[in-house]
Amino acid sequence: MDRRLNSEQLLDKWEKRRAIQNLMVKFFSQDYLLRREKDMYKNYWSKADDVCLAVNDGAYKGKDAVKGYYKAIEERTKLESSLIQKKYPTRLGDKTPEEVYGAGIMDMKALTAPVVEIAGDNQTAKGIWTIHGMNTKLTPGGQVSDWERGYVAADFVWEGDTWKVWHLLYVQDLDHASGYSWEEPEPVFPEDPVYAPVKEFHFPEPNVKKTVFEKYRADRPLQAPPAYPEPYETFSETFSYGM
Partner 1 sequence: MGKQYYTDDELVERLWDYEDVKQLMAKHFYCYAGDERRKELNDLWVRLPQNRRTASLGVNTGFYTGMEDISNYYVVQLSDLRYSQLKPFCDADPSLDYGKNNLGRGILNNSAVYSPLLHIAEDGKTARYMCYIQGARAVGHADGSADCRFMFGLVYADLMKEQGEWKIWHLIITNDHAIPAGKDYGDYPEWKDSFGTTGQNGPLRVHHDPNNSYTEEELGTPTVQRTVYDPFFGWEHLYEDMPHPYYTLNPLHDYGPEGDFGMPYYERERRNV
Footprint of partner 1 (CB under 8 A): 1, 3, 7, 10-11, 14, 17, 110, 112-116, 128, 130, 132, 147, 149-150, 173-174, 179-184, 216-225, 228
- Give me the DSSP letters along the chain: --TTS-HHHHHHHHHHHHHHHHHHIIIIIIHHHTT-HHHHHHHHB-S-TT-EEEETTEEEESHHHHHHHHHHHHHHHHHHHHHHHHH-HHHHTT--HHHHTTTT--EEEEEEEEEEEE-TTSSEEEEEEEEEEEEEEEETTEEEEEEEEEEEEEEEEEETTEEEEEEEEEEEEEEEETTS-TTSPPP-PPPPTTTGGGGG--PPPPSEE----PPP-TTPPP-PPPPPP---SSGGGS--S--
CB-nearer residue toward partner 1: 66 or 177: 177
- Please answer whether residues 57 and 206 qualify as being in contact, where contact means their C-beta atoms are separated by less than 8 angstroms: yes
CB of 197 to partner 1, least distance (A): 29
CB of 149 to partner 1, least distance (A): 4
CB-nearer residue toward partner 1: 141 or 225: 225
CB of 55 to partner 1, least distance (A): 17
CB of 166 to partner 1, least distance (A): 21
CB of 38 to partner 1, least distance (A): 29
CB-nearer residue toward partner 1: 88 or 182: 182
CB-nearer residue toward partner 1: 140 or 150: 150
CB-nearer residue toward partner 1: 207 or 223: 223
CB of 210 to partner 1, least distance (A): 20
Give backbone dihedrals phi and psi of 75, rounded to 5 degrees, phi first: -65, -40
CB-nearer residue toward partner 1: 179 or 193: 179
